[in-house]
Amino acid sequence: MVAGGSGVRFGGHKQFLPLAGKPVAAWSVQAARPACDGVVLVVPSGPINADVAPVPGATGADAWGADVVVVGGATRASSVRAGLAAVPIEAAVIVVHDAARPLASPALFSSVIDALEVGEAEAAIPALAVADTLKQVTGDRVTGTVDREHLVAVQTPQAFIAASLRNAHDAAGEATDDAGLLEAAGATVVVVSGDPRNFKVTQPEDLVVAEALLDSADQ
């Protein structure tokens, strides 16, 4: 569970802000539980802003419900590698999820894991078809329109054959998601249906939307 970001666009550590009574990251950990034998949470290096601490005075794994908490690195990939070091070597499948996607469902975790049992895929990722027209721009000028027929918007959780994920990270490469590292190594990556509710909390208003969706699910 990757929660090592600094939240620059948000203005703070969004992954630890309260959402419907518990931290954003805790919702993500909870969603992983039914499908995963254990959860490693990667947190930022340095102090977490006091105004977004998960629970006043709470520290360690108990603050977010994880089994193990480790400190991440300067980049997303280095944070994932810190988490991998804490995953038992006997694990056959490893799932990587961005903690800032608190509305991921347990079913989505199961879906990507199950996809690895069919065929010879080394990774399975959830994705949604791109609905909007996509433009290429330079400055404020449109330079072209992108054909969206074969494009998808990718989410997490992403499931991997453990050895393949570890091998992909051995080169200490960088990518915006872990599937990108496997793609670069020529691995087979398959897609399962994503969930529109599984959006990433990026702006403060996203927390308002997330809370409304959680409230509606309880009705």
Per-residue confidence (pLDDT) for residue 46, from 0 to 100 = 65
> Using N-to-C axis directions, what is the helix angle for 106-115 and 24-32, rounded to 10°?
50
Q: Do the domain assignments include residue 190? A: yes
| SS3 of residue 196 by DSSP | coil
Per-residue confidence (pLDDT) for residue 167, from 0 to 100 = 95
**CA–CA distance, 70 with 37 (Å, rounded to integer):** 17
Bridge-based pairing state of the strands 189-193 and 123-129: parallel
Q: Do the domain assignments include residue 82? A: yes
CA distances from 207 to 53, 63, 97, 105 (A): 16, 19, 18, 17
| Run of H or E including 94 | strand 93-96
Per-residue pLDDT of the chain (219 residues), as tens digits, is: 998 665 555 556 778 888 998 889 999 999 999 999 999 999 887 655 434 444 444 455 556 889 998 988 889 999 999 999 999 999 999 999 999 999 999 999 999 999 998 878 999 999 999 999 999 999 999 999 999 989 999 999 999 999 999 999 998 788 889 999 999 999 999 999 999 999 999 888 999 999 999 988 765
Per-residue confidence (pLDDT) for residue 62, from 0 to 100 = 59
Domain assignment of residue 117, given as a range: 14-218
Q: Tell me which DSSP letter residue 172 carries.
A: -
CATH code of the domain covering residue 61: 3.90.550.10
| Run of H or E including 70 | strand 68-71
Q: Do the domain assignments include residue 23? A: yes
**CA–CA distance, 79 with 1 (Å, rounded to integer):** 10
Q: Do the domain assignments include residue 5? A: no
Q: Do the domain assignments include residue 198? A: yes
Q: Do the domain assignments include residue 7? A: no
Structurally, how many domains does the chain consist of? 1
Q: Do the domain assignments include residue 9? A: no
Q: Do the domain assignments include residue 132? A: yes
